[in-house]
A and B are shown apart, each in its own frame.
Chain A
Amino acid sequence: EAGVTQSPTHLIKTRGQQATLRCSPISGHTSVYWYQQALGLGLQFLLWYDEGEERNRGNFPPRFSGRQFPNYSSELNVNALELEDSALYLCASSSGTTGYEQYFGPGTRLTVT
């Protein structure tokens, strides 16, 4: 069974640009989560999508947004990039009934210069 996949693996942007990160969940999973893992800050919850709807968001500014498509894949958009947005962005998925059991993808490393 294929795991969670993310693309691209690496992304280099300059300050002020926009970044788009993509995630495909495990087959059969309807929930997708986004986390940011910045150096020294640990894993921070960003967004949760389920059945195409945003269900919860973490303590991040509105320039972090996303969506979930009918096939349950998801996209994270980061607008007006700042240097401190440089981090590993991790996507996880779960079934609708066991949200605590989240499986992570390999991540997208975003570097803002």
Chain B
Amino acid sequence: QKEVEQDPGPLSVPEGAIVSLNCTYSNSAFQYFMWYRQYSRKGPELLMYTYSSGNKEDGRFTAQVDKSSKYISLFIRDSQPSDSATYLCAINNFGNEKLTFGTGTRLTIIP
């Protein structure tokens, strides 16, 4: 079983829609949860990180963590064509500093 599972998509939604991106993980020891955005042929860009169950909001982005279900989500409100990218979840065990990534979900926002 992979440590982090992520639906690879691709996912296409119309502009303005709410997007939901999800990952599951297997090791309950993981403590930090990150979301990265990667445009084609670029390095990943850190969007958000959180370390507790619940929601964390930053503008149009909301990260949600449910540690009891080992489930993390990223919601994008009022999606824009510029949001079209691959979204990667990553998890970390404090003190290890190695990030374990999901395979990424390719998202396309249709104007």
Contact = CB atoms under 8 A, between A and B. Distances in A.
B99 interface: yes
A94 B97 contact: yes
Contacts of A44: 101
Interface stretch (B11-19, B53-61, B88-96): B88-96
Interface stretch (B39-47, B63-71, B73-81): B39-47
Interface stretch (A12-20, A63-71, A73-81, A99-107): A99-107
Contacts, number: 64
Interface band, chain B: 20 to 34
A56 B98 CA distance: 8
A72 interface: no
A105 B97 contact: no
A43 B42 CA distance: 13
Contact of B97 (A35, A43, A100, A107): A100
B72 interface: no
B96 A106 contact: no
Nearest to A94: B97
A31 B97 contact: yes
B49 A100 contact: yes
A100 B34 contact: yes
6 contacts: A43-B99, A56-B96, A92-B99, A100-B92, A104-B43, A105-B43
